[in-house]
Homo-oligomer: A and B are copies of this chain.
């Protein structure tokens, strides 16, 4: 609630106190960049002026369709100009935007759309079969709007209207009103390894502050790993996933050209990068690897493409491969509960590699090839790679700590570890209809990430583990992620997961489960000897070196492809 002017001593009765509303993010871009471009798949082009008109049409048309303030409007689409329009129009009428995770199972999708009590669903034609399958389980759903890349001539059963027909009924000059900045703007669901997805939620105030803080953090880094008015933006993290990391709001506020690629196809993504001049993106490591490995990838000049990598740890090997192609990769850290961004791993002035990177960037700008610009093992140092692959520095207004179970701070010496807990003005304040989970999330007044990390003297965080996966041995934490990264260096190893097994003396000990390359030979002793060398070099502590190694055929994974260490542990322990 913004304090009414009347409550402020000496304030004028008519003084305007400016609630922080999403509509305000649009005011200046529409005035200052009216002719800037928004591209959909290279096939459709809109100006910001049209964006403003289409947002006004969508907002007013949804109202005429019967959507009320505080109603929930669910959207199931690939990354599109339509999604961007929904990011603004739905919250701007006081309704709640629910972004449907279309990668979930039909059961989970039905559960989430029903659980958030969506009255309205905007649905891409690709998902009509899914809708037919789950429609009966959505009793609260009152209307479905079809999203289509081509003109809709016949309306399928159960569809009330289509998006362009809906927009045609709207007012392009509709003026959006003000309301309480704590009004809910968005909600979406996050999946764990167990149970049904949980709903997180964010207010207008929270999204405006996330946008300002992320813009400030990204923009203020000189020489690279930044996002500024000269960039061209393309998301490669789905818009149904945590507001596409909040970047569409930042891009719009910056007034830059935006490119929405629809359903992700590596060849299209690479083509859009080249043809539309994309310079700023963000994605998970898997997508980055896919872009590097795609047929024809080598034919694209990727130099100078700034890319935030998050969602999972970027391995040094992947970072080096991307840097070798000239991609300016760096890490972003956050989760569904955190809106998401709380930290970024930009190379700061004086950091290892910052000068070398600036030199490479100048060389790129001068049109030199990677080889000419001396891109190679000699130029990109391990220290630079490690800096980019670190979790990074907290962004403005994010208060990020590593603590023991009693909430005492661990030292910032890059050795002491603790659970990462955080406060920022843009964290979910709970879970929808899940008070126990909400209470655990906010235990002690800090949001518990369930990540374990260490912090160095510059305040840079390095996540080392997940609480659920952590190994507590002789009172000390052993990082399963550190062990996995070191074991993965062995050429014979395809995959590795390190789990905790009970130990009478140490309480727990680490047990690596190793998948070998077909035909490769490697013994447990070789793995252990390798780790001893690593311990001598100080890369891990001596007590972290395991005494046992197990070789397996494959690792257990969850439905979304993440390692399932819980199940792994059950299998390994024969439960």
Contacts and interface: CB of A to CB of B under 8 A. Distances in A.
Interface of A: 1-3, 5, 7-18, 20, 24-25, 27-28, 31-34, 180, 182, 184, 201, 203, 208-209, 212-213, 215-216, 219-223, 227-230, 253-254, 348-349, 393-399, 412, 423-425, 427, 429-435, 438-439, 441-447, 457-460
A54 B460 CA distance: 24
Contacts of A227: 220
A10 to B, nearest CB: 5
A43 to B, nearest CB: 25
17 contacts: A10-B429, A10-B434, A11-B429, A12-B442, A15-B445, A16-B446, A17-B425, A20-B397, A28-B393, A28-B396, A28-B399, A32-B458, A215-B219, A220-B229, A221-B228, A223-B230, A229-B349
A370 to B, nearest CB: 21
Contacts of A447: 16
A15 B431 CA distance: 11
Given A18-B423, A31-B412, A209-B212, 8 more contacts: A8-B430, A10-B435, A11-B438, A13-B439, A28-B396, A32-B393, A212-B397, A221-B229
B12 A429 contact: yes
Contact of A10 (B9, B253, B433, B459): B433
Task: Name the 5 nearest CB pairs between A and B, nearest first.
Answer: A11-B429, A18-B425, A32-B459, A219-B219, A219-B220
Given A18-B423, A32-B393, A220-B254, A438 B229 contact: no
Contacts of A1: 1-3, 7
Nearest to A180: B3
A16 B220 contact: no
A429 B5 contact: yes
A445 B5 CA distance: 11
Task: Among A28, A398, A443, find the residue whose CB has the most chain B CB atoms closer than 10 A.
Answer: A28
Contact of A27 (B212, B215, B399, B438): B399
Contacts of A10: 201, 429-435, 438
A24 B427 CA distance: 16
Nearest to A366: B362
A388 B524 CA distance: 68
B222 A229 contact: yes
B11 A430 contact: yes
Nearest to A214: B216
A348 B425 contact: no
A423 B220 contact: no
A15 B425 contact: no
Contact of A12 (B18, B215, B229, B435): B435
Contact of A438 (B12, B444, B458): B12
Nearest to A208: B397
Nearest to A431: B10
B16 A442 contact: yes
Contacts of A3: 1, 180, 182
Contacts of A446: 16
Contacts of A24: 397, 399
Task: Among A184, A432, A459, find the residue whose CB has the most chain B CB atoms closer than 10 A.
Answer: A459
A397 B23 CA distance: 10
A430 B16 contact: no
Contacts of A442: 12-16
Contacts of A431: 10
A222 B450 CA distance: 38
Contacts of A444: 14
A406 to B, nearest CB: 16
A215 B459 CA distance: 21
A446 B459 CA distance: 42
Task: Among A32, A431, A433, find the residue whose CB has the most chain B CB atoms closer than 10 A.
Answer: A32
Contact of A394 (B31, B184, B412, B429): B31
A204 to B, nearest CB: 12
A221 B226 CA distance: 11
B438 A253 contact: no
Given A230-B349, A439-B14, A445-B16, A429 B8 contact: yes
A10 B433 CA distance: 6
B34 A457 contact: yes
A269 B397 CA distance: 33
B221 A212 contact: no
B212 A222 contact: no
A396 B221 contact: no
Nearest to A393: B32
A348 B24 CA distance: 21
A398 B201 CA distance: 27
A439 B31 contact: no
A220 B439 CA distance: 38
B216 A459 contact: no
Contact of A8 (B27, B182, B397, B433): B182
A423 B28 CA distance: 12
Given A349-B230, A457-B34, A459-B31, A396 B215 contact: yes
A27 B399 CA distance: 7
A394 B27 CA distance: 10
